[in-house]
Structures are given as structure tokens and as C-alpha cells.
């Protein structure tokens, strides 16, 4: 025999205290329109009434035909014991409460969900919830809900919060359907009780009719929730997370609001609609076979013939040199081979037998030679603009002589056309030395020694290649934080852009994240927190980018390098005399003051 239960009505769902004959007629009609009569029928036919809470949750989702995707990833990130707060977006308004109750309770029986009082209609699972009334902020039930939530977390339980407090709807500022502003209660509890936070993104949204009616009158959204839930048959609800955020990790942000905004952004980073993959450019099986290494005896013979002033520094068995193609053609061939080997490991490279082009013959090569193992371990390719363009102040220079003119359209206001500069590029350290401190440091000390010999170079400019081992989302974040925020500052100052990309980076962030970054200026440490959470292997911002950032680099724009497996390159410039004094001491050594005092006269 079917178990009985109290009839669900729109009057209770709308949470109104008004009564009378006309209101009864009104809500009777509303029940027919919004589908509560169908829910009552569904409830009876599915024999849900009176079931144990976990059994009810499982059966309700089964009868609705809703499947949960991504359960394992969520469960793996929930601690076995101890307090933890799960924060989620609220795309549907009802079913996600049941989804989270069913899922989290399967691992942690001490789970509570702070939910809208509208979910009281499901009496069987009432024990899962701590009810609040976000549409009536002054309601006494909210104070009680906060106290209960604090107590539950202090006792080591798991707490699920929908910080928006209401279903997602169209946000004018974001220009998309998303949560309203998040309440800061999750951050406040986490930091007071010292528990981690797990941001979870729930995919999907309600129907166009739901959102259209909601724009006419906001309470229509509440009344439409049941109809929307009953339309979910066959729906896959996907859950995604970037992992736990330790409460101490939020200390890189100053205010509670900034911490709250960061956690919300972490949630929306998992919106797979904006997680695009890199297109396949050159299939690995189409790569040409890399050329044979150059005989070390030939390399050493060329190096031994270099003038002594082209020896920049030595450390243990390593020596840093600079030279031109005509002096070391075989060394340049070996450098090009090693570049291709190294870059292929990062899904970059040319796909050719070696990474070489016509610029190898006109650019200056700064490289590290390991005498002990008779091998080149790293190099930089430098373009001396005054040498390449004949004059850094030439009125009509041939920009085709600059490699980066293939990636960027330089205006006459850009630094490389105003004064002598060093165009830096094609840097690499072979794999065996990538985890040692001396590789990159020797290259930079070599650059310091070079500019000490040629002090007319006050500015270095070049690109940091952003390897496609990074996700498109990470690269878009780096672009947003380091470039686009600067562009906004420039436009506010009515500064004209002096360089533009020839091939745009075209992987935009979601409207939610664009809004976040428009409202928040991040430093490099905060950017790192985003990148490490996004990347599957937890890797950080590229080391070379950090190095340039320490030198107070100015980031100009991002472009796609069509000659380099369509790799994104972030254009930057560094005014060396303005770098931090401790870095100048490190790279220029005793020549620091002499370099700073150079006037060019």
C-alpha cells in the first residue's frame, strides 16, 4: 500500500503567510501551472514517502532519471575525518541539494547541508539540512542556521553550502547566467575553525522560460523550481573540482571578500564549456627525425678559437660564451638540434630535424659549454637591434630583420625602435640540467656580463613561450592578469598601444572569470595559486616568467608563434637599470655601478 504524505503546495514553497479564499484559489491555479500537482503524483507513484533519508535521495534521483558524473573526483577530495566545507554554485535550485546529500553522505555520515527552506517539502531528507531563508535576511531562522553550522563544523562534520543562497539567474554585470553574489559565511567559518574548503562546480542551468519569467518577477523563479526539477529526466549533472583549499592558503588575500571571490572563481574555473583543448598542429608521428649530434671535438675547436673577450664567465666545469654564426657555425647547428630536442619535450618545437631559421645567422648566440662532458647545456639567442637595424633610431628600419616582427606589429613608439635593445629568445636548458640551480643562473649571469661589455643595452625585450603542456585556461589567466589588466590601465590613461599581436591568442575565459579579473588585481603569488590549482600536475607559473617578473618586466601582449608549433608567446620588456638592486648585484657583479653610470655619450 502506498504510504501517505502531506500534500506539497506552492503556498508553502513561496513561504507566504497570507491566507483567504482568493489566495487559496490563486495558489490552486499556481499549483497546476508550476507543476506541484505533478510532483505530488510523482511522489506517490515513486513511493518516496516515508523512506530513510539516503534511500530517499538515491530513489528520487533514480526516478527523476538524473545521473551524477564526476562523483569519484569529489569523494577523493573529501577528508576521511575532520571538518570540511563544500561550496557549490546553484544552477538548478533544488536537485543539487539532493545530489550533494546523497553523494557526500555516502562517504561521511556527519554531513549537513545549509539549504533554502524550500527544500522542506522533502520531509524525508530534512535531517540532511540546516535550513536558512536567504530571501529574508532578517529572518530568525538564519541566525539559528549560522549557529548550527558553526557547531557542526567545530564537531568535525562536513558542511555543504550554496553561498549564493538562491538559484542562479541572469547577472547583468557578468552578462551570463550565474550565481548572485556569494555570502561570505563559508570563508568566515573556515577561517574561524581552521578547516579546508572544497569548491565544487555543478554543470547545467534551468530552462529559458524559467529565466525569462524570473526577469519579470524574481519570485517566479522560486515557483518554477519544481517544474524545472521534473524536466531533468535523462540529465547528466556533472560535478567538478580543482581540489581542497587549505584555509591558510587564503592568507595571500587581504580581505574576507577577496578570499570569498577567489573561492568562487575556483568553483567557476571548472565550467567545462570554457575549458578548450589545444588544437593539434603537428602530430608527433609527423615530426622529422632529429639530426645527429655534432662531434664534440668540432665544437671544442670552434670554441677554442673565440677571442678571450667573448668568454663571459666560468663556474666549475661550465663556461658561458657569446659568439656569432660565422665564428661557430657547427656550435649553432648543435644549439639548433638541442633546441628542437628540448622544445619537443614541451609540445613545442618546429617539427623539423632541428630548430633553425635564417635568424641564427644574424643573431648573437650566448651559450653554456660543459667542458667536463663536452656538451652545450643551454643557450639564448639575442638580437642586437642597433646591429641588426644599423641604427636603433633609424627612421625607416627593416623590421623583417627582427624575429619577433613575425609575431608582433611594432609601432615606432615601441622600445626596439627608440633605442638599442637586446631581443631575447629561443632560450633553453637541456633536460639533464633543468632541475639544477646553475643552468638558468649561468645564462642570466652571462647576460649580465654581456650588457656590462655593451652597456648601451638598457632594455631587454622578448617573449616567454607558454608551453602547451599548460592548459589553455592557464595561459588565458596569465594573459588576463599580466596583460589585459595593464591594457585597461593604459586605456584609462589614454596611452596608445605601441605593439599588437599578428596572430591573436583566442581562448577566452568564461564571462564569470572575466568579471572576476576585471574586479580584482592579482599579484604573481595570487596568480600562482590559480595556475597550480588548474594544472593537473600542479605546476606553477613558468620559471622564466617569474624571473622576468622579478626584474620588474612590463608585459605588452600575447601572440601565437606560427613558426613554433603555434605556441603562445608573452611579449615583455625589462629596463635593466630599474631592476631590484640585489638582482643587479647577482647578475652584473662588480660591473653593476659602471653599467648604471653609463650615459651613452
- Give the start-to-end residue ranges of the domains of the chain: 64-274, 284-597
Give, for 104, the enclosing helix (H) or strand (E).
helix 95-105
pLDDT at 414: 87
Fold of 64-274: Glycerol-3-phosphate (1)-acyltransferase (3.40.1130)
Residue 588 grid cell: 652584473
What is the C-alpha separation between 358 and 50, in angstroms, rounded?
79
What lies within 8 Å, CB to CB, of 539 at 6+ separation is 469, 470, 531, 532
pLDDT at 117: 83
Map residue 430 onto helix, strand or coil: coil
Residue 349 burial (10 A CB sphere; 0-12, 13-18, 19+): buried
What is the C-alpha separation between 467 and 345, in angstroms, rounded?
10
Superfamily the domain 284-597 falls into: Gcn5-related N-acetyltransferase (GNAT) (3.40.630.30)
Q: What is the pLDDT of residues 151-176, one digit of tens each?
A: 999 999 999 999 999 999 999 999 99
Q: Residues 499, 463: contact at Cβ < 8 Å?
A: no
Return left, alpha or beta for 218; rule: phi > 0 is left, psi -120 to 50 is alpha, else beta.
alpha
Alpha-carbon dihedral 497, 501, 504, 508, rounded to 10 degrees: -40
Report the pLDDT averaged over residues 554-571.
91
User: Residue 65 — φ and ψ, nearest 5°?
Assistant: 80, 25
Q: What is the DSSP letter of 484?
A: I
Task: Tell me which residue of 125, 159, 124 sits closest to 145, measured CA to CA.
Answer: 159
Residue 181 burial (10 A CB sphere; 0-12, 13-18, 19+): middle
Q: What is the pLDDT of residues 234-289, one digit of tens each?
A: 899 999 999 999 999 999 999 999 999 999 999 999 999 988 888 875 555 578 99
CA angle 530, 87, 235 (to 5 degrees): 100
How would residue 494 be classed by pLDDT, with cut points 50, 70 and 90? very low
Q: What is the DSSP letter of 241?
A: -
Per DSSP, what are the bridge partners of residue 322?
Answer: 366
What is the C-alpha separation between 592 and 595, in angstroms, rounded?
5
| Exposure string over 555-586, b if 16+ CB within 10 A, otherwise e | bbbbbbbeebbbbbbbbbbbebeebeeebbee
- How many residues can be counted in the chain? 601
What lies within 8 Å, CB to CB, of 526 at 6+ separation is 252, 253, 262
Q: Residues 244, 267: contact at Cβ < 8 Å?
A: no
Do the domains 64-274 and 284-597 sit in the same CATH topology, yes or no? no
Quick check: 393 pLDDT over 50?
A: no
Q: What is the pLDDT of residues 111-149, one digit of tens each?
A: 999 998 878 888 889 999 999 988 787 888 999 999 999
Q: Higher pLDDT residue, 16 or 150?
A: 150
pLDDT at 3: 42
HSE-up (13 A, CA, CB side) for residue 575: 6
Residue 463 grid cell: 617573449
What is the C-alpha separation between 520 and 527, in angstroms, rounded?
11
What lies within 8 Å, CB to CB, of 494 at 6+ separation is none
Q: Residues 342, 428: contact at Cβ < 8 Å?
A: yes
Alpha-carbon dihedral 256, 261, 267, 268, rounded to 10 degrees: 180
Q: What is the pLDDT of residues 436-463, one digit of tens each?
A: 888 999 999 999 999 999 999 999 999 9
What is the C-alpha separation between 290 and 275, in angstroms, rounded?
33
Report the pLDDT averaged over residues 518-525.
92
pLDDT at 5: 44
Q: What is the pLDDT of residues 17-68, one digit of tens each?
A: 556 666 666 666 666 655 667 777 888 888 888 899 999 999 999 999 999 9
Place of cell 613575425: 406
Task: Tell me which residue of 426, 416, 423 sits closest to 462, measured CA to CA.
Answer: 423
Amino acid at each position: 500500500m502506498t504510504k501517505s504524505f502531506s500534500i506539497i503546495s506552492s503556498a508553502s514553497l513561496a513561504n507566504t503567510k497570507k491566507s483567504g479564499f482568493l489566495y487559496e484559489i490563486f495558489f490552486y491555479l499556481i499549483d497546476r501551472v508550476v507543476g506541484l500537482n505533478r510532483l505530488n503524483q510523482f511522489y506517490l507513484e515513486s513511493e518516496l514517502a516515508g523512506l530513510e533519508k539516503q534511500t530517499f535521495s538515491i530513489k528520487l534521483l533514480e526516478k527523476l532519471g538524473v545521473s551524477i558524473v564526476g562523483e569519484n573526483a569529489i569523494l577523493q577530495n573529501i577528508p576521511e575525518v575532520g571538518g570540511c566545507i563544500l561550496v557549490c554554485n546553484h544552477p538548478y535550485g533544488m536537485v543539487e541539494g539532493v545530489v550533494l546529500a546523497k553523494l557526500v553522505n555516502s562517504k561521511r555520515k556527519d554531513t549537513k547541508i545549509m539549504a533554502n527552506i524550500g527544500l522542506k517539502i522533502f520531509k524525508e531528507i530534512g535531517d540532511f539540512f540546516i535550513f536558512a531563508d536567504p530571501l529574508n535576511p532578517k529572518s530568525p531562522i538564519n541566525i539559528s542556521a549560522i549557529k548550527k553550522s558553526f557547531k557542526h563544523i567545530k564537531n568535525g562534520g562536513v558542511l555543504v553550502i550554496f553561498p549564493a543562497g538562491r538559484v542562479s539567474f541572469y547577472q547583468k554585470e557578468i552578462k551570463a547566467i550565474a550565481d548572485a553574489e556569494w555570502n561570505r559565511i563559508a570563508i568566515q567559518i573556515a577561517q574561524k575553525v581552521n578547516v579546508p574548503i572544497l569548491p565544487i562546480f555543478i554543470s547545467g542551468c534551468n530552462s529559458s522560460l524559467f529565466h525569462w519569467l524570473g526577469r519579470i518577477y524574481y519570485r517566479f523563479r522560486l515557483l518554477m523550481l519544481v517544474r524545472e526539477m521534473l524536466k531533468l529526466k535523462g540529465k547528466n549533472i556533472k560535478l567538478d573540482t580543482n581540489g581542497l583549499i587549505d584555509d591558510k592558503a587564503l592568507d595571500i588575500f587581504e580581505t574576507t571578500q577577496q578570499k570569498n571571490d577567489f573561492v568562487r572563481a575556483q568553483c567557476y574555473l571548472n565550467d567545462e564549456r570554457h575549458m578548450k583543448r589545444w588544437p593539434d598542429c603537428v602530430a608527433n608521428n609527423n615530426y622529422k627525425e632529429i639530426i645527429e649530434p655534432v662531434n664534440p671535438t668540432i665544437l671544442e675547436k670552434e670554441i677554442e678559437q673565440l677571442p678571450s673577450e667573448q668568454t663571459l664567465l666560468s663556474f666549475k666545469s661550465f663556461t658561458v660564451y657569446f659568439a656569432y654564426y660565422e665564428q661557430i657555425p657547427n656550435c649553432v647547428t648543435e644549439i639548433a638540434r638541442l633546441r628542437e630536442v628540448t622544445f619537443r619535450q614541451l609540445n613545442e618545437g618546429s617539427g623539423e630535424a632541428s630548430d633553425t631559421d635564417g635568424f641564427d645567422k644574424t643573431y648573437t648566440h650566448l651559450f653554456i659549454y660543459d667542458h667536463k662532458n663536452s656538451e652545450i647545456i643551454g643557450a639564448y639567442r639575442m638580437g642586437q637591434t642597433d646591429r641588426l637595424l644599423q641604427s636603433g633610431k633609424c627612421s625607416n628600419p627593416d623590421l623583417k630583420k627582427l624575429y619577433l616582427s613575425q609575431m608582433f606589429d611594432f609601432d615606432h613608439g615601441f622600445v626596439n625602435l627608440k633605442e638599442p635593445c637586446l631581443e631575447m629568445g629561443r632560450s633553453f636548458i637541456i633536460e639533464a640540467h633543468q632541475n639544477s640551480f646553475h643552468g638558468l643562473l649561468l645564462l642570466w649571469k652571462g647576460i649580465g656580463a654581456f650588457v656590462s661589455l655593451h652597456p648601451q643595452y638598457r632594455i631587454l625585450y622578448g617573449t616567454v613561450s607558454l608551453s602547451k603542456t599548460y592548459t589553455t585556461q592557464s595561459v588565458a589567466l596569465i594573459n588576463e592578469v599580466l596583460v589585459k589588466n595593464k591594457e585597461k590601465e593604459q586605456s584609462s590613461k589614454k596611452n596608445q598601444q605601441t605593439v599588437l599581436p599578428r596572430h591573436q591568442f583566442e581562448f577566452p575565459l568564461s564571462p564569470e572569470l572575466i568579471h572576476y579579473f576585471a574586479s580584482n588585481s592579482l599579484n604573481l603569488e595570487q596568480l600562482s595559486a590559480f595556475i597550480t590549482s588548474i594544472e593537473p600536475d600542479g605546476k606553477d607559473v613558468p620559471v622564466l616568467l617569474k624571473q622576468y617578473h622579478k626584474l620588474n618586466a612590463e608585459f605588452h601582449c600575447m601572440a601565437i608563434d606560427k613558426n613554433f608549433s603555434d605556441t603562445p608567446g608573452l611579449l615583455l620588456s625589462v629596463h635593466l637599470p630599474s631592476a631590484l638592486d640585489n638582482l643587479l648585484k647577482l647578475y652584473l657583479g662588480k660591473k653593476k655601478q659602471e653599467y648604471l653610470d653609463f650615459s651613452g655619450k
